[in-house]
Amino acid sequence: MATKTITIKEDVYRMLVSLKRNNESFSTLFERLAKSRSNINKLKALRGFVEIDDKEMLLKEISEKRKEIRY
Protein backbone atom coordinates (compact mmCIF):
# COMPACT_ATOMS: atom_id res chain seq x y z
CA MET A 1 0.00 0.00 0.00
CA ALA A 2 1.31 3.43 -0.93
CA THR A 3 1.69 6.15 1.66
CA LYS A 4 1.33 9.90 1.27
CA THR A 5 2.67 12.76 3.33
CA ILE A 6 0.43 15.75 4.00
CA THR A 7 1.20 19.08 5.63
CA ILE A 8 -1.28 20.52 8.10
CA LYS A 9 -1.24 23.48 10.44
CA GLU A 10 -0.51 22.91 14.14
CA ASP A 11 -4.06 23.85 15.21
CA VAL A 12 -5.54 21.35 12.74
CA TYR A 13 -3.19 18.68 14.05
CA ARG A 14 -4.45 19.34 17.59
CA MET A 15 -8.07 19.07 16.36
CA LEU A 16 -7.30 15.74 14.72
CA VAL A 17 -5.52 14.42 17.80
CA SER A 18 -8.60 15.27 19.87
CA LEU A 19 -10.75 13.20 17.47
CA LYS A 20 -8.33 10.27 17.34
CA ARG A 21 -9.13 7.23 19.49
CA ASN A 22 -6.55 5.42 21.62
CA ASN A 23 -4.33 3.19 19.48
CA GLU A 24 -5.91 4.58 16.28
CA SER A 25 -3.62 5.63 13.45
CA PHE A 26 -4.23 8.85 11.57
CA SER A 27 -5.00 6.79 8.46
CA THR A 28 -7.71 4.95 10.36
CA LEU A 29 -9.00 8.24 11.76
CA PHE A 30 -9.26 9.77 8.27
CA GLU A 31 -10.97 6.64 6.98
CA ARG A 32 -13.47 6.69 9.85
CA LEU A 33 -14.21 10.37 9.32
CA ALA A 34 -14.58 9.99 5.57
CA LYS A 35 -16.96 7.02 5.86
CA SER A 36 -19.25 8.70 8.36
CA ARG A 37 -21.71 11.21 6.89
CA SER A 38 -22.06 12.81 10.33
CA ASN A 39 -18.37 13.71 10.20
CA ILE A 40 -18.51 15.43 6.81
CA ASN A 41 -18.90 18.79 8.54
CA LYS A 42 -15.74 18.11 10.56
CA LEU A 43 -13.85 17.37 7.36
CA LYS A 44 -15.27 20.49 5.70
CA ALA A 45 -14.07 22.55 8.66
CA LEU A 46 -10.55 21.29 7.96
CA ARG A 47 -10.77 22.26 4.27
CA GLY A 48 -8.20 24.87 3.35
CA PHE A 49 -5.76 23.80 6.04
CA VAL A 50 -3.99 21.18 3.95
CA GLU A 51 -1.29 22.03 1.45
CA ILE A 52 -1.43 19.84 -1.66
CA ASP A 53 1.83 19.35 -3.51
CA ASP A 54 0.44 17.55 -6.57
CA LYS A 55 -3.24 18.34 -7.11
CA GLU A 56 -3.53 16.35 -10.34
CA MET A 57 -2.10 13.21 -8.72
CA LEU A 58 -4.45 13.61 -5.75
CA LEU A 59 -7.49 13.96 -8.01
CA LYS A 60 -6.42 10.89 -9.99
CA GLU A 61 -6.06 8.83 -6.79
CA ILE A 62 -9.47 9.99 -5.53
CA SER A 63 -11.05 9.04 -8.84
CA GLU A 64 -9.44 5.59 -8.73
CA LYS A 65 -10.59 5.01 -5.14
CA ARG A 66 -14.14 6.03 -6.01
CA LYS A 67 -14.16 3.50 -8.86
CA GLU A 68 -12.95 0.78 -6.46
CA ILE A 69 -15.67 1.61 -3.93
CA ARG A 70 -18.44 1.60 -6.53
CA TYR A 71 -17.61 -1.89 -7.80
pLDDT at 70: 67
Tell me, rounded to whole angstroms, the distance of Cα 13 from its chain centroid.
12
pLDDT at 21: 92
**pLDDT tens track for 6-31:** 888 899 899 899 989 999 999 999 88
Rg for the chain (alpha carbons), in Å? Answer: 13
Considering the entire predicted model, what is its pTM? Answer: 0.49
pLDDT at 38 over 70: no
CA 32 vs CA 17, 53, 56: distances in Å: 14, 24, 24
pLDDT confidence tier of residue 39, bands split at 50, 70 and 90: low
pLDDT at 23: 92
With respect to residue 13, please indicate whether it lies within any of the assigned structural domains. yes
Q: Into how many domains does the chain fold?
A: 1
With respect to residue 2, please indicate whether it lies within any of the assigned structural domains. no
With respect to residue 56, please indicate whether it lies within any of the assigned structural domains. yes
**Residue 49, domain extent:** 7-70
Q: 14-45: b or e for each residue (b if 16 or more CB lie within 10 Å)?
A: ebbeeebeeeeeeeebeeebeeeeeeeeeeee
With respect to residue 1, please indicate whether it lies within any of the assigned structural domains. no
